Amino acid sequence: MEFKIEKYKHKTQYYETDQMGIIHHSNYIRWFEESRTDLLEQVGFSYHQMEEAGVMIPVLGVTCDYKSMVRYGESVFIFQTIEEFSGVKMSISYEVVDSVSNEIRCIGSSRHCFVDKTMRPISLQKKNKDIFDIFKALLVVKTTN
């Protein structure tokens, strides 16, 4: 299984700004989720399909280090990489980059686990080998420019 993952582009919205006219820090976490959703759609197995298969991926933790400000009207690319995957847990790193200057705006990560609909931890390798194989293949894939 081989994937070529395209970068995710986000155009900032006015409602994402704060009183200082910059993007409020909480929005970056939402952008991480948008890019994760896009990643799964690119590999042909959306969150909806996963949930239909009885697999859910709650967030265990998120980090975000802000490097420079993003302002209303700017666009950013979000590059995501699955850094760790065991079939039970997964870690994803993110890099948010200005779409014009290529300046890094922030870097971050999220940690997840896999659970069934009753919120009990599962092993993807046992529960759904197809989903396991997709994430295993993504472990070595970097987002393309």
Active site residues: 18
Q: Tell which phi-psi region holds residue 27, choosing left (phi > 0), alpha (psi between -120 and 50) or beta.
A: alpha
Nearest 5 degrees, angle CA 52-CA 54-CA 55?
105
Q: What angle do CA 48, 51, 53 make, to 5 degrees?
A: 110
At 105, the amino acid letter reads R
